[in-house]
Amino acid sequence: MIGDTPAPLPTLSSAYAVEGHGLVKTFGSFRAVDGVDIAVPSGTIYGVLGPNGAGKTTLLRTLLGIIDPDEGHRTLLGADQPLRMARQVGYLPEERGLYPSMKAFEAIAFMGALRGLPLAQGRERARVMLEDYGMGASVEKPIRQLSKGMAQTVQLFGTIIHEPRLIVLDEPFSGLDAINQEKLEALIREQAKRGVTVVFSTHVIAHAERLCERIAIIAGGRIRFEGTVSDARDSLRPQVRLRTRASDGAWRRALPADTMAEEGAWHFALPDTGIEPLLRALLDGEAGIESLSIERPGLHDAFVAIAGAAAAKQMQDAATPEAQA
């Protein structure tokens, strides 16, 4: 579904790890979340995409019960009061925070203890996790002595130490180098394999495209699209890229009205009638076909179409350093 009027979501049931209906959250006169309906199927990797300021973090905080919505209803793992399910949820906030004087393994165990994991068990697991990840030398180090990336890893381990059923990660890739981004992607997949529901927000479309089974595209506090990545891509018609030797002729009339010339090639969406009538016209009109390709649109193209070019550009600008990484 595309546009301002989302199609009705499936009936709420326990098949969904996270559900929200008509959620509204305002800060002063600013509507950060504006009537959001969302349902995250259990056991899926779910991405919340949007540019900065779109309302992703506010939506996640509302769903987790950190803040209450002004309007609407939410359930987390079937509970009306999200904190009641805190033991089964892991949350990595956008703004990372740890006690600087705590040792790495203690910080992880503490985060587990907050969510009901006995401290001794947490310490043991934390040591194993850090050692398995190649951070054995940092186990006893205070957080203030760790690099930013290492501290972020510690916090991520603190998020999953208690083996939650639902993991919510707010911009988890931000601040990580390419290697650690890959490791995080692998970790998310591994958790999903175990049946854990993973919800993460991102402004890097590539991560969502690689990882997510379902996505929600959010802009201006509203969900503009909700569905699978494939649905999002299929929401646009395939794109045709045509290169001809002749630059003009009767054959030009056969090109669709929205055709754009770019870098010596014609770009247009595949017409509803298919490619055959166009091919015939090109051949009859002696356009001299050099190359012709029909490409399925990427998630980025879909995002541009759904959220708007401005939002897409903002996303791209914000993501540039990470994309390069």
Partner 1 sequence: MNELLRAALVIARRDFTAVVFSRTFILFLLGPLLPILIGMAFGGLGEKISSTDLRPVVGIAMSPSEAARLERAHERLAERMGEQALVRLRRVPLTPAPRIQLAQPGAGVVAILSGSVAHPLLTGKPEDLDKMQGDLSLIASAAQAEDTLRLVQVERQEVTTSTGAQAQARLLIGRIAQVVMFFLTILLAGMILSNLVEEKTNKIIEILAAAVPIDAIFLGKLMAMLAMSFVGIAFWGGTAFAIFLALHGGASVLPAPAVGWPVFLILAVVYFAMAYTLLGSLFLGIGAQAATVREVQTLNMPVTMGQMLIFFFASYAVDHMGSTPEIAACIFPFSSPFAMIARAAQDPAIWPHLLAIVWQGFFVALIIRIGVLLFRRHVMQSGGAWWKKLFRTTTG
Q: Is 17 helix (H, G, I), strand (E, B) or coil?
A: strand
- Site for partner 1 contains 65 (CB under 8 A): yes
Closest CA to 134 of 118, 144, 119, 149: 149
Min CB(119)–partner 1 separation in Å:
8
- Figure out which of the listed residues 4, 95, 262, 272 binds partner 1, where binding follows CB under 8 A: 95
Query: Which residues, 142 to 171, sit near partner 1 by CB under 8 A?
Result: 155, 158
The site string for partner 1 over 194-233 (x = CB under 8 A, - otherwise) reads: ----------------------------------------
Query: Which one of residues 13, 27, 52, 178 is an interface residue with partner 1 (CB under 8 A)?
Result: 27
Residue appearing with tokens 């697991």: 125
- Cβ closer to partner 1: 97 or 274? 97
Task: Kindly state the tokens that stand for 136.
Answer: 């054995």
Residues in the chain, total? 325
Residue 274 host element (H or E): none
Can residue 96 be called a binding residue for partner 1 (CB under 8 A)?
Answer: yes
Give counts: helices (H), strands (E), the chain. 10, 13
Q: Give kind and range of the element (H or E) at residue 97.
A: none
Q: CA gyration radius for the chain?
A: 23
Angle ∠(133,45,84) on CA atoms, nearest 5: 90
> What are the φ and ψ backbone dihedral angles of 291, each rounded to 5 degrees?
-155, 150
**CB of 160 vs partner 1, minimal distance in Å:** 13
Among 39, 104, 108, 113, binds partner 1 (CB under 8 A): 113
CA 253 to chain centre: 41
136 binds partner 1 (CB under 8 A): no
Residue where the block lists tokens 């690689």: 210
For residue 289, state whether it binds partner 1 (rule: CB under 8 A): no
> Is the dihedral angle over the CA atoms 129, 134, 135, 137 positive or is it negative?
positive
**Dihedrals phi, psi of 83, to nearest 5 degrees:** -65, -20
Q: Does 89 bind partner 1 (CB under 8 A)?
A: yes
Is 67 a binder of partner 1 (CB under 8 A)? Answer: yes
User: Both tokens of residue 36?
Assistant: 């959001």
* 116 near partner 1, rule: CB under 8 A: yes
Task: For partner 1, give the closer residue by CB, 13 or 27.
Answer: 27
If binding is defined by CB under 8 A, does position 100 make contact with partner 1? yes
Q: Contacting partner 1 (CB under 8 A), which of 1, 12, 24, 102?
A: 102
CB-based contacts of 226: which residues, under 8 Å, 6+ apart?
1, 6, 9, 37, 38, 214, 215, 216, 217
> Interface with partner 1 by CB under 8 A: which range of 13-21, 96-104, 243-251, 311-319?
96-104
Residue 67 or 265 having the CB closest to partner 1: 67
Residues that bind partner 1 (CB under 8 A): 27, 61, 64-68, 70, 81-83, 86, 89, 91, 93, 95-102, 110-111, 113-116, 119, 155, 158
